Structures are given as C-alpha cells and as structure tokens.
A and B are shown apart, each in its own frame.
Chain A
Amino acid sequence: MRSFFRMIAAFSVALVIVAGLATANVQAEERIVIDGSTTVGPIAKAFAEYYMSLHKDVNVTVSESGSGNGAKSLINGMCDIADMSRFMKLKEFAAAVDKGRMPVAHVVAVDGLPIIVHPSNPVKGLAVEQVRDIYMGRINNWKEVGGPDVTIVRISRDTNSGTYESFAKLVMKKKKIHENTEYVGSNGAVRQRVQSTPAAIGYAGLGFVDRSVKALAIDGIMPDHNTVSSGVYPIARPLYMFTNRYPKLGTHLHAFVTLYLSPRGQEIIEEIGFIPVTKY
C-alpha cells in the first residue's frame, strides 16, 4: 500500500514540475479566444502571432472549425471573435440577440473564390453558368466544356462552411448541388483533393491557391488582386470577424480586431494572399 501512495506522490510531483516549467515560460493574463472559418484562419493565426509578439501578456488562441461553428460559439459566448467567411444568417442573429449578444461585423479582407482544377486539365476557363451546371450534375464530363473525355469529380466544402454558403449564393443561385459530390472539411483539404485527382474540380479561398493547382478564368477573368478588389471577378466575397458588440476602446480585443486597418495588418493579409479592404 505504501508503494501505492508513493506512486501517487511521485505522480503529483511530476505534474507540479511540468506545471512549473510552463509557468516559467509565460505568465499570460489576458486572453482572446477566436473560433470559426478555416478561410479566415490564416489571417487570424498571423494576427495572433503578431499581436502576441507585441503583447507578451496576452494569449490569443485560434481554432478553425468553420464559419457555422464560429457563429454558434459567439452565440453561446464561447469565443471573443468569430471568424466568418459569410455574413451571419438571420437565424443566428436572432439566436444571439435572444441571449443578449449583439454581433458586430468587422470586414477584415476581401477574398475571391477561385475555381480550381488539376494543372493537367486542359480546360482554361468556364462561365459561371457552366460551373453551376457542373455542380448541379447537368455537366458530368470534361468533354462537354472542351476538355478530354473524363468524368468530372466534384469537390465541395461541407455545409457548415462559409465558403460553401458563399459558393451556393454566388454560383449555385439556390440550385441544389448534385448528390454525387464529395464534401471535405477545409480549404486545405479541397486543394489537396484537387492536387491528387486529375479529373477534380473544387473551390477554395484565394490564400489557399498555389502553383500546385490551376485556377480557372471565370467568364474570361482570372482571379487576382486587381480583378477581385475591383469587383470584376464574379465570385468574390468579404471576410468577417464578428464580435459581441463593438469592443471597448483601449482593450486588447479592440486593438486586435482593428489590426486589419493598420499598415502592418494589411501587409500580413496581402502576403497571405488575400486582399486588404483599403489601400493605405
């Protein structure tokens, strides 16, 4: 029996040592909890690291669980900032107000929604209607849009995603996405699926599209900085951070949520690949 107690003692000592090590490293007091969109995630993460490097006593945590979850989190008071790649729905607003919370939107950046295919796909561009027909299941083979005779593999974001909602609104226009569509849980996963599947088509935020996939010209327009910010590229949307009411001036939350207005914040957004709201 003595050994049993001794073990418990050793166990607690080990725990205390680990804890001691941790406390020696940081003594964060303030915290900002961020949850929500995987599209806004890279911006939030970069802001978090930048902000923590300026204010060592603040712990900013970021999770990427999708816009829908971000909204739910904010409604339940589980986070300070909800990243969202779509605007809040009426239902979500009502639920928040019911709980005494007033969501305030901060538009932190603008994002185009490139339609991406495997680089080996000879198709260079599509019209918005063609993209819609592909996702509705009216077009099922690449040869119908000028490509080779290969069945199209549709990749979409899951229905919890704000990117999905944006796509549904801007491209699908209330038409149903065909049931034979593969749903994946994040922007990165869409890119990886398209990277590894020659016949695939998908969509993801601007900041997630690199040389490993090919963005299509939509209605003859390539998604880039100029075409998106000027509104010429047809599939573009703002990216939001939602807070409960406007944060009190002088708080860390206020400073954080207005970072996107500073030159440094805009540089960060630009370097990640999104488009700042204003030009300084």
Chain B
Amino acid sequence: MEVGTRKLLDRSFTSVGFLAIILMAVSLVILLQPIIIRGGKAFVFKGTVEYRKLMREQFGRGNVEELSMDLEEARLARKPVYDLLDAFENEMKEQDSSFRRQYRADFRELKELLEELLGPREGERRRALIRKQYGQTRHDRSLVKLRHVIYIEGYDYSDTSGMGVKVETPRAELFTGTSLEPLFGILETDIGKMMKPKLTVYWRFLFDKSIDAHFFGGIWPEMLGTFYLAFGAMLFAIPLGIITAIYLAEYAGTGRFVSLIRICISSLAGVPSVVFGLFGLAFFINTVHISSSKSVLVGAMTLALLILPTIIRASEEAILAVPHGFREASMSLGAGKWHTIVRVVLPAALPGILTSTIISLGRAAGETAPIIFTAAVSVGKPLSLFQTFSQPTPALPWNIYNLATEHEAVDEIRHVQYGMVFTLVMMVFLLNLAAIILRARVSKRLRG
C-alpha cells in the first residue's frame, strides 16, 4: 500500500472515531437535557400559597406568621370571586325556573373548576382526600387550571368528514348578561394575588414521605427502597461472584465440565431480566418461602442473580490479566497458592473487579422487571433494616413506571415522575463517578 493511501485511511479512521464521539455527546445531551430540566422542576418551582399551607399543615414547616399574612392577602384577593358566586346564587334563587335550568349545570361545573384551582372554600366541609383539601400548589399547574376556568375546551363537529376540531370559547359567554360576567376578568388579572406564587426550593423532595399516593410530598420510601435493593444485591453478588471467579481462574483448569460452567454463566448474562423476576417469585417466594410476601430480601437476591454473571466474567478476566510473573515471584518467596491469590493476585486485579461491581450496582439500582414480582409496591412506608427481611418496598424504577402508566391522575403529577427519573439517573451517575474515582485511587496506590 502506498504511503498516501495509508495516511488517508488513517486520517479517515480518526475522523470517524471523532465523529462517533461527537454523536454520542450530542445524543447524551439530547437525552439528559429534558431529564435535568423537567426533573429539576420537582425541586425548584413556583410554589403557591396553597403549597405553603400544605407544608405547614402536613409537615409543620414554614413561618406561621408569614403564612397567615399570605393567607389573609390571598383571602382578600379571592373574596370578590366568592362574592360574585354568592350573588349569582341569589340571582338564581330569585329568577324563574327557566333561568335556573339554563345555568344550573354550567354554574356547578364552574364551581367545581374553581375549587380545583383555589381549593375548597373556607367553612366548607373538609374533604376526605388530601389532594382535594388544597388548591393548586404549583403555579404552573394553577395557570393550566385557570385556563380551564376561563376557556371551555369544546369540539366543532360541523365538518362530518373528519374528527372534530378543537375550539376554545371563553366561559364568560355562557354567563353574559348575568352578575357572574365580571368574575372571569377578575380571575385573569388577580390570579397572582390569589395564589401568591413564590420561587420555592424543595430539596426535601428527596427525603419526604409521599402524601396521598404521590400527589404531594417526596420520594424517600422509593429512594431508600432502591438503596436497599441495590446494596442488598451487592451483598450477595460480590462474595459469590469473586469466589467463583477465583475458582474458575485459578483452580478449575480447563476440563470439559469447567467450560460447560463457563458457557452457562455466559448464557445467564443473556437471560431477559423479567425471567429473573419470575424465577425469583417462583423459587424464592413460592418454593423456598424466604418470605411470605414480596420482600426487599427476595428482590435483592433476584437482582444478585441478574448481575452475578457480569461480576463473575469481569472478575475472572481481571484475575487472568494479572501477569504470571507476579504469581511466580510470590511462589518463589515461599508463599502458598492461597496466600499468593489473596495477597498478590487479588489486589492486582482489584481495579478490574471494582469496575465491574460498580457498573453492576448501577444496573441493579435501575432494573424494573426483576423487582415487579419480588419486591416492589406502589405505596408503602420507608423500611427499617430489620423489616427488609419480610416486607416489600416502593422503589424508584417501579414507581416511575407506575406513575407513568397506572396512576389515576397521571397528568396532574408529571413533575413527581420527572423528579424520580432525575433522581435515579443522578444516583446511577454518582455511583459511576464514585467508581471511577475509587478505581483511579486504587490503581495509583498499586503502582506506587
């Protein structure tokens, strides 16, 4: 080959590599940017006076005097709205029945919408569900609700050849000529005074329990559950994995039986995770009866099975990569085989083993399928260490799925779902970062 062609090939190879890296960086940004921006809104947002009231009543946080001042101001701002409602109610009573019939349904819907926005009126019967006891706690949501109050979302079906077209008509048109008409203008101009939004940093989102099935509060039970599951899986998988790897690399030799074991381990790595979940349910719970119901313990054991092949293979490779001279030198100084492995081979292989374990830790934290049947629930308390032996727990990956699909009010609490995703991604990111730092330190010490 000519020098020119070689250079050209070399250069094109470099540029392809460079391009691949850029492509990866761009896709990472595209992937992470919405996670960070939307997830961040679970922590930093414009909290309304309803939010501060909720925090005071449910968690006992916040300045009482400031809150009562805020509440008083909000009450004053809301008063004209309620006055208009009362006036209209009187008007309905005084007018004839055709008037009542015309407005009754619309008026009821308006009152319902207003309650969703502002919360129940003072002096009304306390609602049973906490989500109904407060108005909108986040200003972005209260603006959405305000829009629902001011505009009717209807559909125009006049074109019969296709589906209807969305039309928004001002709700005020329903009430033209009545005493209720000015209400909508007041709402639109004074919404800020009624809700009193303030920039709020809710870092305790991470450490608060959830209130009313994730409507309010934080994600502590989920975080804790994820920790338990991931570290519990490590507790089982690390000793088992490393011992297996030592056996395979140092003692087993090359028999047919050993290669069969190797093939088995490799294929185990390719088994879909949901199969592990079903196995955990069928074996650990229904056959061995490790716990009577789903539990963190069973979930951790199932996750351990899932990550075991990765740890074994990676650790074995790391052990095999230790130069043979190390072993010979140790032996020649009179050390036995066991002594050599523990004192010489393992420390040298440690960086490789560490990398594989921490990557597996991230995987265990993020897996959903294995824990559906073995450990995860949608609502539960944070567990103590002792309770993990017998009780199931909420966990981030499962609850993200649950909030995205099953929850009865998916659209109202998207921010919680995004916050959970953000937290999980950050957890895995920090774990990997810790792994890199740890690995760098260990290999530096080994070299020095």
A248 to chain B, nearest CB (A): 17
Task: Report whether A188 and B163 are in contact in the complex, using a CB–CB cutoff of 8 Å.
Answer: no
Task: Report whether A185 and B405 are in contact in the complex, using a CB–CB cutoff of 8 Å.
Answer: yes
Given A31-B391, A52-B381, CB of A63 within 8 Å of CB of B376:
yes
Distance A269 CA – B390 CA, assembled complex (angstroms): 30
Does A18 sit within 8 A of B, measured CB to CB? yes
Interface size counted on chain B using CB atoms at 8 A: 62
Distance A1 CA – B392 CA, assembled complex (angstroms): 37
Query: 8 Å CB contacts to B: which residues of A135-162?
Result: 148-150
Distance A129 CA – B130 CA, assembled complex (angstroms): 41
The one of A149, A185, A187, A264 in contact with B128, judged by C-beta atoms closer than 8 angstroms, is: A264
Contacts of A52 in B (CB 8 A): 381
Contacts of B227 in A (CB 8 A): 18
Task: Report whether B406 and A3 are in contact in the complex, using a CB–CB cutoff of 8 Å.
Answer: no
Number of A-B contacts (CB under 8 A): 167
Task: Report whether B410 and A188 are in contact in the complex, using a CB–CB cutoff of 8 Å.
Answer: yes
- The stretch of A43-51, A174-182, A223-231 in contact with B is A43-51
Task: Report whether A188 and B294 are in contact in the complex, using a CB–CB cutoff of 8 Å.
Answer: no
Task: Report whether B382 and A187 are in contact in the complex, using a CB–CB cutoff of 8 Å.
Answer: no
Does B110 sit within 8 A of A, measured CB to CB? no
Contacts of B213 in A (CB 8 A): 42, 45-46, 49
Query: 8 Å CB contacts to A: which residues of B422-448?
Result: 438, 442, 445
Distance A61 CA – B376 CA, assembled complex (angstroms): 9
Does A171 sit within 8 A of B, measured CB to CB? no
B-contact bits for A117-141, CB 8 A (1 contact / 0 none): 0111110000000000000000000
Task: Report whether A26 and B128 are in contact in the complex, using a CB–CB cutoff of 8 Å.
Answer: no
Given A18-B227, A148-B163, CB of A23 within 8 Å of CB of B408:
no
Task: Report whether B385 and A192 are in contact in the complex, using a CB–CB cutoff of 8 Å.
Answer: no
Give the most central of B132, B231, B383, B393: most A CB within 10 Å: B383
Task: Report whether A122 and B376 are in contact in the complex, using a CB–CB cutoff of 8 Å.
Answer: no
Does B292 sit within 8 A of A, measured CB to CB? yes
Contacts of B406 in A (CB 8 A): 38, 41, 64, 185-189
Contacts of A26 in B (CB 8 A): 381-384
Does A271 sit within 8 A of B, measured CB to CB? yes
Task: Report whether A3 and B445 are in contact in the complex, using a CB–CB cutoff of 8 Å.
Answer: yes
B-contact bits for A1-43, CB 8 A (1 contact / 0 none): 1011001000000011011011101111001010000100110
Query: 8 Å CB contacts to B: which residues of A199-244?
Result: 199, 207-208, 210-212
Task: Report whether A272 and B385 are in contact in the complex, using a CB–CB cutoff of 8 Å.
Answer: no
Does A194 sit within 8 A of B, measured CB to CB? no
Task: Report whether B155 and A59 are in contact in the complex, using a CB–CB cutoff of 8 Å.
Answer: no
Closest to B353 in A: A4
Contacts of B148 in A (CB 8 A): 211
Distance A148 CA – B407 CA, assembled complex (angstroms): 32
Query: 8 Å CB contacts to A: which residues of B35-60?
Result: none
Which B residues contact A (CB, under 8 angstroms)? 127-130, 132, 148, 153, 155, 157, 160-166, 211-213, 220, 224, 227-228, 231, 285-286, 292-294, 342-343, 346-347, 350, 372, 376-387, 390-393, 402, 405-411, 438, 442, 445
What would be 13 A-B contacts, judged by CB atoms less than 8 Å apart?
A: A1-B342, A4-B346, A38-B406, A59-B387, A61-B379, A64-B402, A78-B293, A148-B161, A148-B163, A188-B405, A188-B407, A211-B148, A271-B127
Given A4-B347, A186-B405, 8 other A-B residues pairs in contact with their CB atoms under 8 A = A15-B231, A19-B385, A25-B220, A26-B382, A63-B377, A78-B293, A79-B293, A271-B132
